[in-house]
Structure 1
Amino acid sequence: MICLIPAGGGTPFFFTPLPEQVEVKYGAKYQTFDTISRGTVKVPRGTDVTEVSWSGEFFGFPRRNETIVNRMFWTLPAAARSIIEEYVDNETVLTLIITDIWLNIDVTISSFHTTGYGAFGNLKYDISFAQKKPLEIYTTDELNTDSYVKKTNPRTDLAAASTGSGQSYTVSSGDSLWKIAQKQYGDGSKWKKIYDANKDTIEAAAKKHGKKSSDSGKWIYPGASLIIP
């Protein structure tokens, strides 16, 4: 069983049929688990899960009775896509549960792509998750950094970077233009400034990932290099 449960409670979303394989990245370690054969799986201890991904399908109505589909949790492909895209748009924190490999972690969806095929509304999809870890905030007294800060002279290049002037930024998992503008300018509403300066790059990446367009910067992808004007 693979399911997503919104943080704070909510209706669980179940993936059926199950994907053939699930890839889990433990820091620098990659492991792939077979969810179909359900053989014995040993998960290494002592390393936090950072990324989880797989490719799968959502079957249309005529295929809902196939043996690999759990009819109790079957959902129309269009409805499944809508639910997941809403999670992406709202940056919803989710509990990801994969019973076959004893995985139970809080995540956000870092990427989700679908492709329709056949004549019955079937969808193939690729999905990736990034682990959501709690943010720990400390005061300078707790970190004992006051003395260091007083002795440090600000560098001009760091000052320029804080304003985002002409700097290069590499998109990471979970980023959006709003988040990047918040980091660089302290104001997420300035996201369009970044989009306008990188329109060609953003649109090319969206088409490379199967999109007709980036939807004005809604779809950006990890690894893309942006200029912060």
Structure 2
Amino acid sequence: MSIKYQIWFTWNAEREKIRLPVLPEKFSIKNGSNNQSIDLTGLGEITIMQSRPALQFSFSSFFPAGYFPGIKSIIAVPPILYIRMIERWKKSKVPIHFISTGNYINLYCTIESFNYSESGGDVGTFSYDITLKEYREVSLKAVSVDSSLIATVQNTTARVDNTSTPKTYTVKKGDCLYNIAKSVYGDGAKYSSIYTANKSMIGSNPNLIRPGQVLKIP
């Protein structure tokens, strides 16, 4: 793939994002058909055209433990954090925003499968393969009937909302915001997001959280 390509995953209305540090060598797009063929007496086989199925994207790459000339993202992120973030997105049942600049892909997808491994010869580097499927919101058609009893069908375009529903966390003895952020986001440095969402309850000092407090996790 061209070195000018960029591949991004974003989630929760762009609040979390990943630029893949190493582009895949092969990128597979499955674009099938739901058309049906039937045989009619005197006409033979005819095809009934249907709406196409969802696009499916598959590729493999790796999250490197260290810098090398083929890396495309200058942001140094431990590979395990990429793994934990994608796992969490997959479990959330909220679609991700998938962008591949070289393929002109810009759409929402579900993470259908995500498999990864770490080999002994390169500890800390994770190889992975991932399959994404195009996500479409269910759109309803409104039917209106005028005074002359003529029905008009109006198509409505549904906008994809990939905002994650806020979750909560109950503070336990020994907890701190940094460790909570590391647990839920995979990145302790995001503790400020939790503090901002709960500042009215925590107060001016983010270190003063108490067991039993129920924190909103944005």
- The two structures have a TM-score, normalised by structure 1, of 0.48
Q: Are 1:57 and 2:62 an aligned pair?
A: yes
Paired with 1:133 and 1:71, the residues of 2 have a C-alpha distance of 30
Kindly provide the CA deviation profile for residues 162-210 of structure 1, in whole angstroms up to 9, marking residues without a partner as x: xxxxxxxxxxxxxxxxxxxxxxxxxxxxxxxxxxxxxxxxxxxxxxxxx
Secondary structure of 2:74's aligned partner: helix
Aligned to 1:132: 135
| Contact kept in structure 2, 1:55 and 1:125, CA below 8 Å | yes
Bigger proportion of residues as strand: 2
Q: Kindly state the Cα deviation for residue 123 of structure 1 after the two structures are TM-superposed.
A: 0.9
The SS at the match of 2:16 is coil
**1:123 and 2:126 equivalent?**
yes
Name structure 1 gaps, 5 residues minimum. Answer: 29-45, 143-229
Cα deviation, residue 67, structure 1: 0.8
Post-superposition offset of 1:76 = 1.4
Instruction: Tell me whether 1:89 sits opposite 2:91 in the alignment.
Output: yes
Change (3 A) 1:5 1:107: same
Gaps of 5+ in 2: 1-5, 34-50, 146-218
Q: Check if 1:102 corresponds to 2:107.
A: no
Q: Counterpart in 2 of 1:25?
A: 30
Taking structure 2 as the reference length, what is the TM-score of the superposition? 0.50
> Which protein has the bigger helix share?
1
1:13 to 18, 41, 54: 18
Determine if contact 2:29/2:56 at 8 Å carries over to the other structure: yes
Secondary structure of the residue that 2:88 maps to in structure 1?
A: helix
SS in structure 2 of the partner of residue 89 of structure 1: helix
Aligned Cα root-mean-square deviation (Å): 2.7
Task: Rate the CA distance shift 1:139–1:69 in 2: closer, same or farther, 3 A.
Answer: same
1:225 is matched with none
How far 1:141 sits from its partner (Å)? 9.3
Q: How many residues align?
A: 123
1:75-86 correspondence runs (5 A):
75-86=77-88
Q: CA deviation at 1:122?
A: 1.0
Amino acid at match of 2:134: Q
Cα displacement (A) at 1:137: 3.6
CA distance 1:71–1:136, change in 2 (3 Å): closer
Contact 2:8 2:98 in 1 (8 A): yes
